[in-house]
Amino acid sequence: MLKVDLSPKISSKKMRVICPPPGKQVRHCKRSAQEAMYPSGRARRRGGFVVAGVFVYTQRFGFGARTRAQQASMRSALRTRGRLQPAFPSSSPSSSHREPAPMNDSAKPDAISVIVIVKNEAHDIRDCLASVHGWVDEIVVLDSGSTDGTQAICREFGATVVETDWPGFGPQKQRALDAARGPWILSLDADERVSPQLRDEILASVKSNGADLFRVPRQSNYCGKWIRHSGWSPDYVTRLFRRDAARFSNDLVHERVIAAPDARVGTLTQALIHYSFRDFSEVLGKIDSYSTYGATQGAARGKRGGLRKALLHGFWSFVRSWIIQRGFLDGKMGFVLAISNAEGTYYRYLKLMLLETQQSAAAKARDAAPESR
């Protein structure tokens, strides 16, 4: 992805400029091509194009060069003069980036520690860490048994990698929080990316002392489709906070950040990019694992399952996502998302019913054991 700097040396005949409709206010006129492709909820589709500020592109990649050699030469010359730059930093750490230094007890008050929990995330973790490398002070990764090279990738970015078991999402993130040493914590998942705009807002926010926790809007991609409705947008998550102002819940799944009673809560405006699911195989895998965690957690809290509850709650989950939260505006993928939400709820209550049956049978077996002896 490239940024194009419009200078007088480039003929305007080779450019087409798409501007927003008259009367529409544009908050940032100079927006990157990456932001234009993945807007934070403000852009809308007009005539097949994504309108997000001013999106400039060329009819020919080489600004008029007619051969591949001429195009390559032109791109090389423009890079040398600084007119073409990547919209996002390189996925690999470069010599211009500083490695996160080990934290000490006298860390600066606005130092930021990034925490990530992983297992076999080699397909995602590189882009995640590349989005924070060079501007945070510490990266802490808790790995629960990766076998795909995830740990090696994390160490390329200077991360502190801690190998551990898997107690569940909430307890694992609390472990990562305890291992971090910076006064500010930025909690990320491996499938999330911090955009340059969000980076700048984070750095300004930790210096302003305006709040102790910050809610961040999240823009999510579902199997290649950016979801604008369905309860996913706006999707505010608390990811930036002072380490002494919050902790993670003990939930096995769908963990929460619990703020201290006197903590001040703020809200950021720039979106956290979230690639939630790559394909339907991943969707099915998470439906299975998350419904198992949810059933186990529900049984521990005394919830009851059953076929009737599974059907009713599953149906309500679909209605809420597809109709109430306007998932129909997300097209066919909005419908698919509503179905997958319903499936997750349906199987959670079925698994809870099965757990109750198994626990009841085990209790009867224990009661019958003394009589048999």
Print pLDDT tens along the chain (373 aa). 444 444 444 443 333 434 444 444 434 433 443 443 444 444 433 443 333 333 333 333 333 434 444 445 444 443 433 333 333 444 555 433 445 545 554 468 999 999 999 999 999 999 999 999 999 999 999 999 999 999 999 999 999 999 999 999 999 999 999 999 999 999 999 999 999 999 999 999 999 988 999 999 999 999 999 999 999 988 999 999 999 999 999 999 999 999 999 999 999 999 999 999 999 999 999 999 999 999 999 999 999 999 999 999 999 999 999 999 999 999 999 999 999 999 999 999 999 999 999 988 888 888 887 665 5
Query: What are 250-301's pLDDT values in tens digits?
Result: 999 999 999 999 999 999 999 999 999 999 999 999 999 999 999 999 999 9
User: Angle CA(108)–CA(114)–CA(116) in degrees, nearest 5?
Assistant: 160
The three-class DSSP label of residue 161 is: strand
Q: DSSP readout, 317-361?
A: HHHIIIIIT-GGGGHHHHHHHHHHHHHHHHHHHHHHHHHHHHHHH
Which amino acid is residue 228, in one-letter code?
A: R
C-alpha span between 69 and 157 (Å, rounded): 35
3-state helix, strand, coil in the chain (%, to 5): 40, 20, 40
Q: Which residues lie below 8 Å from residue 344, measured CB to CB, with a gap of 6+?
A: 286, 287, 290, 291, 294, 317
- Cβ neighbourhood burial of 40 (10 Å; 0-12, 13-18, 19+): buried
| Assigned CATH for 112-276 | 3.90.550.10
Q: CB of 86 within 8 A of CB of 130?
A: no
DSSP β-bridge partners for residue 318:
none
Q: CB of 151 within 8 A of CB of 190?
A: no
Which amino acid is residue 87, in one-letter code?
A: A
21: preceding bond cis by omega (within 30 degrees) = no
Domain residue extents for the chain: 2-86, 112-276, 279-372
Which amino acid is residue 42, in one-letter code?
A: R
Q: CB of 115 within 8 A of CB of 181?
A: no
Angstrom distances, CA of residue 208 to CA of 4, 162, 164, 205, 242: 33, 32, 36, 5, 13
Beta strands 235-242 and 213-222 are antiparallel
C-alpha span between 309 and 298 (Å, rounded): 13
Which amino acid is residue 349, in one-letter code?
A: Y
- Residue 212 has phi, psi (to 5 degrees) of -100, -25
| Closest to 115 measured CA to CA, from 87, 148, 143 | 143
Sign of the Cα torsion 282, 288, 289, 291 reads positive
**Structural element, H or E, at residue 219:** strand 213-222
Angstrom distances, CA of residue 67 to CA of 61, 63, 72, 157, 354: 11, 11, 9, 39, 66
Beta strands 112-118 and 184-188 are parallel
The pLDDT of residue 373 is 56
C-alpha span between 120 and 134 (Å, rounded): 24
